[in-house]
Amino acid sequence: MLRFLLTRIGSALLVMAGVVCIVFFLLHMVPGDPVEVMLGESAQPADREALRHELGLDQPILSQFYTYISALSQFDLGTSLHSKRSISEILAEKLPATFALALAALLIAVLIALPLGMLSAVKKDTLIDRGAMGFAMLGTSIPNFWMGPILILIFSLWLGWFPVSGSDHLSSIILPALTLGTALAAILSRMVRSAILDILNQDFIRTARAKGMSEWRVIMVHALGNATLPIITVLGLQLGALLGGAVITETIFSWPGIGQLTIEAIQQRDYPVVQACVLVISLIYVLVNTLTDLAYGWLDPRIRQV
């Protein structure tokens, strides 16, 4: 188990090192000058050069990279070029909103996908199965940038049930969570159906039924319990994406999370903030996937031998 754990952690650290290097150099290749964004096009050349020197942007790219890595090794994410605030403080303000949205979306997805996938598997090739899989196909096909405005149009403008945007009220989280949760539910329900159908064809299921066990217990205890590995795979991948920041959804609903922060930082050419956001998103994604691997090893000891 120790070897399995060290291998997964080593792989995660290697991925993070690659992300740090790639993000830094790609961002400095993006067209646009943060100094021009901060001072405007009418600023004097001398003022631009003075600010560029103050921010260290006049240094060679390798020198800037060395400075960034040195600060990062001390867990210093730097200072925002635009607001002059500590990036760690900014992220500390934004991350709770992203966590809340991700968990709400995950809860909605699980509440929809598990019963839908199980019902579809039990009623295979019936009208219920076709309807459930039709919903899953529809949910997978509809992008968030279309689903979000439709939900706003129906539930905010026409019915007036929920706020259009922001996070001032508890009900503000419902529409963005539905936007993310329905897409995840569509993917998860198909995986639940496929996993349970595969388990239902196993010999131990036929044995359980032959012993007179109720169909409900066969599905809930034996089938669903043994279908956890593929379901955990989907949940791990999707939860990493959700926690990393649903950029489009947060932008549509003006949700004050790390996704919206990333978009604002890109528009302002705030390199340190963009680097920090992408780094945190990548770290969360890698961490969740590493925990998923460890959960695999805990649930199925055979995986630890690979």
Residue 297 has a pLDDT of 63
> What does the pLDDT average to over 99-127?
84
Is the entire prediction scored with pTM above 0.75? Answer: yes
> What does the mean pLDDT of the chain come to?
78
Domain 93-267 is found in CATH 3.40.190.290: no
Residue 240 vs residue 115, higher pLDDT: 115
Other residues' Cβ atoms within 10 Å of the Cβ of residue 93: 14
Concatenated DSSP letters of 118-165: HHHHHTTTSHHHHHHHHHHHHHHHS-HHHHHHHHIIIIIIIS--S-SS
What SS3 state is found at 204?
helix
User: What is the C-alpha to C-alpha distance for residues 84 and 99, in angstroms, rounded to an integer?
Assistant: 25
Helix axes 271-299, 228-244, angle to 10 degrees: 170
Region of poorest pLDDT, from 122-136, 143-157, 226-240 = 226-240
- For residues 262 and 100, the answer to whether their CB atoms sit within 8 Å is no
Domain boundaries of the chain, sorted by first residue: 2-73, 93-267
Torsional class of 142: left (φ above 0), alpha (ψ -120 to 50), beta (otherwise): beta
Distance (Å) of CA 179 to CA 41, 176, 231, 274: 39, 5, 21, 25
Helix, strand, coil shares of the chain as percentages rounded to 5?
A: 80, 0, 20
Nearest to 91 by CA among 261, 269, 251: 261
CA 57 to CA 183: how far, in whole Å?
Answer: 41
Residues 115-121: what's their mean pLDDT? 82
pLDDT single digits (tens) 59-110: 777 888 888 888 788 877 878 877 778 888 888 888 888 888 888 888 888 8
According to the model, what pLDDT value does residue 31 have? 67
- pLDDT (tens digit per residue) in 4-60: 667 777 777 788 788 888 877 877 776 666 666 666 666 667 767 776 776 676 777
pLDDT band at residue 306, thresholds of 50, 70 and 90? Answer: low
3-class state of residue 86 by DSSP: strand
